[in-house]
Each structure stands twice: as C-alpha cells, then as structure tokens.
Homo-oligomer: A and B are copies of this chain.
Amino acid sequence: MTDLKQKIRAAVRDDLAAIEQALVENLHPQFDLVQKVAGHLLFAGGKRLRPLLMLLAARLCGYRGPEPAANFAVIFEYLHAATLIHDDVVDGASLRRGQTAAHQVWDPPTAVLTGDFLLARSLSQAVLTGRTEVMGVIAGITEQMSQGEIRQLSHKGDLTLTEERYLEVIRCKTAVLFQGACRVGALISDASRERQSALDDYGFHLGMAFQMADDLLDYTQESEVLGKAAGADLREGKLTLPVIRALQAAEGPDKEWMTALIRRGDFSSEAFGALVALLARYGGLDYTRRRAAEHVRQAKEALRIFGAAPAVEVLHDISDYAWSRVS
C-alpha cells in the first residue's frame, strides 16, 4: 500500500468503520436471496470513497443533525453498487472487485432486480434526511448516470468519438455521483450556498480525475491489481481518452493498425502490449495524466474557502491519491 493511501486510511478509520456498520444495518432486505445478491458486491471490499466524501463534506460544514451522518452516507454506496451491478449486466463483465460479477454468480435478471432494490434502498435513506433538495440531487444523479451509460453504449466502437463527448460521458457516469455526495454532505449541514457550491466543484473535479485515472489504468495496470481484465474497455468497444487522443495524433500505418485492432475488438496480450506502446508514443497516456492532474488541481482549489481543517487535508489527500495511482 502506498504511504498516501495509508495516511488517508488512518485519518478516516472511524469513518470507514461507521460506513461499514451503516451499510449492514440499513440494507434490511425482506428475503435471504436479496441479502445474498446485494451483499455479494456490496461487501466485497469497495473503497467506500463516495460515502466517505459525504461524511467529510458534512464534517467540514459542521453537521449536527440527530441522525448519524453515516446513515446518509450509505445512500451513495447503495447507489454506486446499484449502478455497478447494472453496468456489469450491460457490459457482460465477468469480474468485479476481484470476484465473479453478480449476473454470472446468479443470472442477469436477478442482477437487474437487485440493482433496482439497491437504488430503492438508496432513495429510502435519502427520504430520511427529510429534505426534498437531497431527493432532487439523488434523482438528478440517477437520471444523469443512466443517460451517460446509454450514450456510452451508443458510442460503442465509434472511432469518431470526440474528446468533448468523452468528457460528457464521464461527467454523467462518474463525476455527478462524487459531486452529489459532496453536495448532500453540505445540504444536510445547512451550509451556505458558497460552501455547497465549493464542495460541488470539488466533487466534480475529483470525479473527472478519478475516471480519467481509471481509464488510464485499464491500459497500464495488470488484471490482478485492477480486479478485472486489463484492456476490458477496448474489448467492450469503449473508447476512452488515452485512445481518443492517440488516434487523433497518429498517422499512417500506426493509425491504421490501431483502428483495425479497435474495430476487431479482440486481441492477444502481445497486440495489447503493442497498442499500449502506441498510446504512449502518440501522447495518449501522458495527455490523460495531465488532464487528470489539472482536475486534481481544480478540486483542491475549490476547497480554498474552507481554509485549513483536518477534513480539508483528507480531501486534498484523496485527490492526490486519485492522481498518484497513475503518476
């Protein structure tokens, strides 16, 4: 484990414990099967980053409500788990968090319905805040995420996908959830509009950096570390920033070779290695790294109005960590 990761873990140990406990206590399914399927992914050791962001945002804004904030933080893990389960069905992915995806352990129908259940659990927890603004954020996130995934699907294998469209897709599918988690932390704490907006910005930029890093890791990291197959995005026809940028810069036989490989959508590990070398040569990897770093910088910048506070330091560390994975 990196030093930074250890530092963050130490700083939020109690928060993570509170989140784990709240995730178990608030799931209450009526049937054993629902418990098993929902728990399969939910308790397979995710980073709990989204609920953690909500907790930290709430702390930064001086949350003093009667309900433990962790019971609201779970909104974002349930919602995240719901979308992961649906996305795995959608992508036909085999591995998730290092284990067989739910739709393969059980079947796609059970996975779809369990995703629906987790989404509903997320809503029910949001209702407990007693704030329609919070409900609005959750509804908005769900709308954006489903549309982002549909747009991504419609661009499957699309070699003309632009950087602009890519940015819109990752905003919808990833950044809005980070953003929403931070905003809800501010909302339940009756924070000023300025503080709400600052946390919203932080979440947005962190989410963008995070997804760019993920998209880069799909080319630069081993399957064992990823917890899923490397090069999976391209096999699924998903063009991400490293490829979009490299395709833009490449010419001649290199461009033709890359195009042919992407069209085929299936490749040996040698061919994959050669592709990664081309992505590096044509600047796709570096460019993605730089764009992610810029979002990290903006994320930190957004928090300036809070001055120095322990929670600000952790949020800084989290954004540095998002980038350190690919630096």
Contact = CB atoms under 8 A, between A and B. Distances in A.
Interface string A98-115: 000000000011101110
Interface residues of A, number: 43
Interface in A1-40: 29-31, 33-34, 37
A258 interface: no
A150 B33 CA distance: 8
Given A124-B136, A143-B124, A116 B86 contact: yes
A150 B31 contact: yes
Interface in A102-136: 108-110, 112-114, 116-117, 119-121, 123-124, 126-127, 130-132, 135-136
Contacts of A135: 123, 126-127, 132, 135
A160 interface: no
A116 B146 contact: yes
A121 to B, nearest CB: 7
Q: Determine how many copies of this chain the complex contains.
A: 2
A143 to B, nearest CB: 4
Contacts of A86: 112-113, 116
Given A140-B124, A143-B117, A146-B114, A31 B151 contact: yes
A151 B29 CA distance: 11
Interface string A34-62: 10010000000000000000000000000
Contacts of A126: 135, 139
Contact of A153 (B30, B110, B151): B110
Contacts of A120: 139-140, 142-143, 146
A243 interface: no
B123 A31 contact: no
Contacts of A145: 116
Interface of A: 29-31, 33-34, 37, 86, 89-91, 108-110, 112-114, 116-117, 119-121, 123-124, 126-127, 130-132, 135-136, 138-140, 142-143, 145-147, 149-151, 153-154
Given A116-B146, A127-B136, 6 more contacts: A34-B147, A110-B150, A113-B153, A117-B142, A123-B123, A127-B132
